[in-house]
């Protein structure tokens, strides 16, 4: 039985997708004593992992070195080996389509690959964030296509990923893990599996509850970020510093949670996941007014930053067309190399579309990765020195990496548009400094 294999650590865990979610998850199960098979379509990842090398810099090379040295981890692109795993955890992207509709193609292809080797007694767990009902109504029929039945022949559950790249106080093993099954046996087995590898596994009544909880987590953040982004625009027009207002409100020890504005939303979750609920709500005949309004506000923020930059250039007697613009930070958040949905990318494209000459600097992203919707192959990160900074008409702070020499930037930039309040203490009151 699967439960006995889990208890004895003899169960083989398959992780499908070795990216920002799958790789640390695989590591957690290796550390817990399980044999892990990692699956990915990218041969370069497989080759690097075989050498114990790390391609996700924020996770550190020690992780992949330990995985390789354990003797319990193997990465492969041979999906015919999915049948070797007793439990298969699906960690693939769930992007949006052209009209902000859910794109479940990665889940669909994963399900089809698993179905080819699915055997009695196996368990499949979906981790990819999606709308309620995906596990039961979308993935299950794919897995059942050759006659095996979920809850009878194999087990099926949902456990949402909660990764936050770059966070130091929590990691995959210490973030509480939600688990919901499509039946009683599936929920019990999935809970036992995760409880063997993470500090706390929390079982909920169904896969749909777990799917909805993950959406609520991200929608909560999206709406609150939209709130402070809207306040930023309003208070700026009133000559009030939104950052000082947030600091002041944060002194209240209850009833207030600090959120900060920025140039837009980044990461795989917050810019995308709320629209999964919007889509399924429409199918149920309901509107999601808060969610859609928050999306409109957050989507607008890169354009607001461009407008503030144009005004900053005007004070120099320059137009954005032909101006030299330096964007600081390509990653979507500080001190990581994750550029998924980064607003910095949209800023670069908007500036270039207006005729500006744009370069970027990011010590964590020396070369832009291959992306589905953006092509920045003509870019490479600049190394910053006083002369380089001074050569640009304006510096736009998109990401406040600690590695940046903020004093050097403050002392040598002709003009700064700061979306992160990174330079407030260094440039406050200077005529060439704009908060955006």
Q: How far apart are CA 394 and CA 312, in angstroms?
A: 8
**The two structure tokens encoding residue 28:** 């957690």
8 A C-beta contact, residue 63 and residue 24: yes
Task: Specify burial of residue 425 (Cβ count, 10 A radius: 0-12, 13-18, 19+).
Answer: exposed
Active site residue 269: yes
DSSP bridge pairs for 323: none
Helix or strand (DSSP H, E) at 325: strand 324-328
Q: How far apart are CA 291 and CA 298, in angstroms?
A: 11
Q: How far apart are CA 157 and CA 34, in angstroms?
A: 19
**What number of H helices and E strands is found in the chain?**
15, 13
Among candidate residues 340, 369, 22, 334, the one with its CA nearest the CA of residue 163: 22
Catalytic residue among 150, 155, 269, 427: 269
Q: How far apart are CA 195 and CA 247, in angstroms?
A: 39
Among candidate residues 270, 334, 255, the one with its CA nearest the CA of residue 301: 270
8 A C-beta contact, residue 46 and residue 228: no
Q: How far apart are CA 433 and CA 436, in angstroms?
A: 10
Write the DSSP string, 129-193.
Answer: ---TTIIIIIIHHHHTTTS--BTTTBEEEE------TT-SS--TTTS-EEEEESSHHHHHHHHHH
Helix or strand (DSSP H, E) at 113: helix 105-115
Q: Which residues are catalytic?
A: 269
């Amino acid at each position: 039985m699967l439960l006995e294999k889990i208890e004895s650590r003899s169960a083989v865990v398959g992780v499908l997708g070795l990216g920002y979610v799958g790789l640390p998850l695989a590591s957690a199960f290796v550390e817990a004593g399980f044999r892990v098979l990692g699956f990915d379509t990218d041969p370069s990842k497989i080759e690097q992992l075989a050498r114990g090398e790390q391609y996700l810099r924020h996770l550190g090379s020690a992780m992949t070195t330990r995985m390789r040295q354990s003797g319990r981890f193997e990465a492969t692109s041979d999906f015919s080996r999915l049948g070797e795993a007793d439990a298969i955890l699906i960690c693939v992207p769930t992007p949006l389509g052209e009209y902000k509709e859910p794109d479940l193609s990665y889940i669909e292809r994963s399900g089809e690959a698993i179905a080819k080797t699915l055997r009695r007694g196996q368990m499949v767990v979906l981790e990819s964030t999606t709308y309620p009902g995906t596990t039961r109504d979308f993935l299950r029929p794919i897995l059942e296509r050759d006659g095996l039945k979920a809850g009878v022949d194999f087990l099926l559950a949902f456990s949402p990923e909660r990764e936050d790249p770059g966070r130091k106080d929590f990691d995959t093993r210490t973030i509480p893990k939600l688990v919901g099954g499509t039946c009683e046996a599936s929920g019990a087995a999935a809970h036992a599996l995760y409880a063997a590898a993470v500090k706390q596994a929390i079982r909920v009544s169904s896969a749909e509850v777990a799917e909805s909880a993950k959406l609520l987590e991200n929608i909560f953040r999206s709406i609150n970020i939209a709130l402070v982004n809207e306040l930023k625009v309003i208070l700026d027009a009133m000559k009030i510093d939104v950052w000082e207002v947030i600091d002041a409100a944060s002194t209240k020890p209850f009833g207030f949670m600090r959120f900060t504005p920025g140039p837009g939303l980044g990461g795989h979750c917050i810019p995308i996941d709320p629209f999964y609920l919007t889509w399924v709500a429409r199918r149920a005949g309901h509107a999601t007014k808060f969610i859609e309004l928050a999306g409109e506000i957050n989507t607008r923020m890169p354009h607001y930053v461009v407008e503030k930059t144009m005004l900053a250039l005007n004070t120099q007697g320059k137009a954005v067309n032909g101006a030299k613009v330096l964007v600081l930070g390509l990653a979507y958040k500080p001190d990581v190399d994750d550029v998924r949905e980064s607003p910095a990318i949209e800023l670069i494209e908007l500036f270039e579309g207006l005729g500006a000459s744009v370069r970027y600097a990011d010590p964590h992203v020396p070369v832009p990765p291959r992306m589905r919707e953006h092509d920045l192959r003509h870019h490479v990160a600049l190394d910053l020195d006083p002369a380089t900074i001074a050569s640009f008409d304006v510096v736009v702070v998109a990401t406040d990496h600690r590695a940046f020499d903020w004093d050097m930037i403050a002392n040598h930039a002709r003009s700064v548009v700061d979306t992160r309040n990174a330079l407030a203490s260094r440039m406050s009151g200077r005529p060439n400094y704009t908060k955006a």
